[in-house]
């Protein structure tokens, strides 16, 4: 039965609360910003807020589950029979990870057919990637964790390929004032997503017990905040920049 020190337990608890607060605030920030972007970027902002909303909900639940999973006795926290529900994370990712890629596609405002085909392909790959990770996450044996982890890397690398090669030309043809930000958003996606397999395999290379629990829970939380809230801020900035572009004549200059 796993035992955590009070400091370890509190660190994870506070990381979850921090996660909830950040994601809930980010959601409101994105949705309150909808009115500030042009028509064609509003759906991107809605979806950006949906991702952080879904994640905020799950962090709230994760925090509750955490409180019920351990009981304080004689100066340490001992795992209860109930256990911590790590499935919340995977349920979250099943929904949010495909949507994160949809955000990026939407804010690029490609042609309709290209939007549909790329969003569908990337979304499906993301779904498969998350689904393949789960059996490894809950496995008792390290080798099962390895097998599913490696399987899950296949769609992950395919996504990376799609983002760099498949979307390369579309990114180069973004308006100049937003191109750098679109590239940054793509890079943040890939870099922050690389953090997940690192945390995942930490459980497979022999790091065990309380230390592993701290690394996994705090690590996933940081990765989630960068990949969802941080990434979302980039999407918001892209939408704002692109909304400044003259749209035909839409914006008349007011004489001074």
Smallest distance from a second copy to CB 168, Å: 27
Cβ closest to a second copy, residue 34 vs residue 171: 34
Burial state string for 164-191 with b = 16 or more CB within 10 A and e = fewer than 16: eeebeebbeebeeebeebbbebbebbee
Of 223, 210, 205, 200, the residue nearest 84 (C-alpha): 210
Q: Per CB under 8 A, does 251 bind a second copy?
A: no
Query: 75 near 56, Cβ under 8 Å?
Result: no
Interface with a second copy, residue 239, by CB under 8 A: no
Cβ proximity to a second copy, 51 vs 223, nearer residue: 51
Q: What is the largest CA-CA distance in the chain?
A: 74
* Binding positions for a second copy, 161-190, rule CB under 8 A: none
The alpha carbon dihedral of 27, 30, 35, 39 has a sign of negative
Scan for tokens 């909830």, then name that residue: 20
Least separation in angstroms between CB 33 and a second copy: 7
> Strand order in 3-5's β-sheet?
3-5, 76-79, 70-73
> Residue 226 has what DSSP assignment?
I
Residue pair 2/79 in contact (Cβ under 8 Å)? The answer is yes
Q: Does 77 bind a second copy (CB under 8 A)?
A: no
- In the shown chain, the binding pattern of residues 22 to 41 toward a second copy, with x for contact by CB under 8 A and - for none, equals x-xx--xx-xxxxxx--x--
**Site membership for a second copy, residue 61 (CB under 8 A):** yes
46 touching a second copy, by CB under 8 A: yes
Among the listed residues 10, 114, 172, 208, the single contact to a second copy using CB under 8 A: 10
Binding site for a second copy (CB under 8 A): 10, 13-14, 17-18, 20-22, 24-25, 28-29, 31-36, 39, 42-43, 46-47, 49-50, 53-54, 57-58, 61, 72, 75, 81-82, 85, 87-88, 91-92, 94-95, 247-250, 254-256
């Amino acid at each position: 039965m796993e035992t955590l020190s009070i400091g370890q337990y509190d660190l994870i608890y506070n990381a979850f609360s921090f996660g909830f607060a950040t994601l809930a605030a980010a959601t409101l920030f994105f949705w309150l910003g909808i009115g500030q972007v042009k028509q064609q970027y509003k759906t991107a902002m809605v979806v950006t807020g949906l991702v952080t909303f879904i994640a905020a909900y799950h962090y709230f639940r994760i925090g509750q589950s955490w409180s019920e999973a351990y009981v304080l006795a004689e100066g340490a926290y001992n795992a209860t029979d109930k256990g911590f529900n790590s499935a919340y994370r995977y349920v979250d990712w099943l929904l949010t990870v495909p949507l994160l890629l949809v955000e990026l596609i939407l804010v690029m405002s490609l042609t309709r057919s290209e939007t549909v085909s790329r969003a569908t392909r990337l979304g499906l790959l993301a779904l498969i990637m998350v689904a393949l990770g789960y059996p490894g996450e809950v496995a008792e044996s390290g080798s099962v964790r390895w097998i599913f982890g490696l399987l899950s890397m296949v769609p992950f690398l395919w996504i990376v390929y799609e983002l760099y090669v498949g979307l390369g030309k579309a990114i180069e043809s973004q308006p100049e004032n937003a191109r750098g930000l679109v590239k940054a958003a793509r890079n943040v996606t890939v870099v922050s997503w690389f953090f997940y397999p690192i945390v995942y395999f930490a459980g497979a290379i022999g790091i065990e017990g309380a230390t592993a629990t701290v690394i996994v829970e705090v690590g996933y939380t940081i990765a989630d905040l960068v990949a969802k809230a941080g990434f979302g801020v980039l999407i918001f900035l892209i939408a704002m920049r692109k909304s400044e572009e003259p749209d035909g004549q839409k914006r008349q200059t007011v004489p001074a």
